[in-house]
Chain A
Amino acid sequence: MEKYLSLFTQYNIPAAFWVNIQLTFWAAIGALVVGTILALMRISPVRSFAVFGTSYVNIIRNTPLTIILLFGVLALYNQLGFTLSDDFNQNFFNLAVMGLAIYHAAFVCEAIRSGVNTVPVGQAEAARAIGLSFLPAAREVILPQAFRGAVVPLGNVLIALIKNSTVAAVSSVAIEASSIMKTMLEFESNLIIPIFATFAMGFVIIVIPVGLLTTWLSKKLAVAR
């Protein structure tokens, strides 16, 4: 027991989780912005935009996240010298955020599209009847309702993003949870199971409230029809 408790002084476990939360936060903002634009493109009357949106989703959704993050480090940084920050570690962090945002934007797009499907046809027809064209109708009528109908799928994307932030280990973000856990497992061989249990519980503690929160929000924000 003492040995186990000493792990917490030896390794800064909360700091590792904090890195994952930061990765999640920035990537979530990026994914939400890109995903919303993609969703707008997919439902727009302009064919070339719709085709672009659909291809983006089909390509990115079917690519392993590991490849996307690895691509950022090995291809963009190592091979092409592409950087997102002058600071060595910050650069890897930013590349990981970019990869996570690119990947999850495809899922955000699909979540919003499923939200658009919950909006009754009459809403779009009414918007047109009062003279709104595509973009104003989307902004004033369709999207506000679509977001409220998409709370649960968006919450699922957020939960996936929190868990996937551990994959940032391949983008050389060395101080996040899975990397720290790996180091600890290698050095504390007689505490393998307690160490895993600690990190696993950390994620359970973060993920389950998010799930409960989105369920509560989806009920609170549900559009009365």
Chain B
Amino acid sequence: MSASVLFDTPGPKAKQRILVINILGVLLIAGLLYVVISGLAAKGQMEASLWASLFTANAWENFLLPGLLNTLKAAGLGIVLSVAFGLAFGMGLLSEVKVLRWFSTVIVEFFRAVPVLLMIVFFNILLARSGVVNGTDAPFWAVVISLMLYNGSVVAELVRSGVRNLPKGQREAGIAIGLTTTQSLRLIEIPQALVAMLPALIGQFVVILKDSALGYIVGFTELLFYSRTFASANGNMLQALLLAAAIFIVINFALGKLAEIVSRRLSSRMPHDKPADPTGAAIAADIEAPLAPPGDQLK
């Protein structure tokens, strides 16, 4: 439901009233901003030097870019591993073998319920103590493993619901041409489910990127860590944290927009699939017409 059905198209009187409230609203928000900025200025926080030091070659070359690189490394690896984990356990959730299904359910439910920070703290100490990885690398791997376990479990759920939402005929057709259920899952159902879940999957990448900042707590040298190190020396913590936040916001906002575009592409693609094969479409339309939602019939 779009917002506009909540109220009538405003008439001349209502238009005037909305205009007045609008002006008041803008004034209110501007006033709030003014209070914040003048408050900061009164505390000497708007001094140009505090901001300018963040935009020097030193700040970027030695602090922000190395930090951002580590953040992207952890998030990138986390994304790849959680998709792999999600596919494996998603297939487990859909498996015909009871033991496999139960095992996957327990793993997925467990890692979705445990806070990521708890896992990061645990793996950091476990990896450092057991000596599996180099002591200085422990925070990085702790972050990557924790991101994989949590987000992989979320992806596994996405895979499961994606496959469940496919028309039953897909699996039946697969079995009819002689595939086993696992083959039909792997060759027919999961590829389609992956396409359908792409927007939600990209949305999950935003979560991974944001959660990589939790590594700061165990001393992983990511963007936030470097921003703080830089700011401690320059006395501009507020400004540095705002900049770090802005970098995250820009990347995540772009990812969010990508998810929107992909989801629009997909929804506009779906109806075109049917007319591509005219004979098949005619038959499908005959059978499906009573079941299809009204929106589909209009197209």
Contacts and interface: CB of A to CB of B under 8 A. Distances in A.
A25 interface: no
A9 interface: no
Chain A, interface SS category: helix
A100 to B, nearest CB: 13
B10 A45 contact: yes
12 contacts: A46-B21, A64-B209, A64-B248, A66-B213, A66-B224, A71-B242, A124-B6, A128-B8, A169-B117, A178-B115, A189-B129, A203-B113
Contacts of A169: 117, 217
Interface stretch (B120-128, B181-189, B190-198, B281-289): B120-128
Contacts of A200: 110, 113-114, 118
A192 B129 contact: yes
Contacts of B256: 58, 62
Contacts of B211: 64
A62 B253 contact: yes
A62 B241 contact: no
B95 interface: no
Q: Which 8 A-B pairs have the closest CB atoms?
A: A62-B252, A64-B213, A48-B25, A75-B238, A163-B115, A196-B122, A64-B210, A207-B113
Contacts of A48: 22, 25-26, 29
B228 interface: yes
Interface residues of A, number: 62
Contact of B224 (A70, A117, A125): A70
B245 interface: yes
B125 A46 contact: no
Given A59-B249, A62-B249, A177 B5 contact: no
B266 to A, nearest CB: 19
A170 B241 contact: no
B179 interface: no
B54 interface: no
B269 interface: no
B237 A74 contact: yes
A186 B125 contact: yes
B216 interface: yes
A78 to B, nearest CB: 7
Interface string B16-45: 001001100110010000000000100101
Counting chain A CB atoms within 10 Å of each CB, the highest count among B26, B122, B211, B249 belongs to: B122
B276 interface: no
Contacts of A43: 3, 6
B48 to A, nearest CB: 17
A181 B118 contact: yes
A67 B225 CA distance: 10
A199 interface: yes
A65 B210 contact: yes
A203 B8 contact: no
Nearest to B150: A163
Given A46-B21, A203-B115, A67 B244 contact: yes
A5 to B, nearest CB: 20
A51 to B, nearest CB: 9
A39 to B, nearest CB: 11
A219 interface: no
A79 B21 contact: no
A31 interface: no
B249 A192 contact: no
B5 A124 contact: yes
A43 B1 CA distance: 10
Contact of B248 (A63, A71, A199): A63
Nearest to A67: B245
Contacts of B206: 62
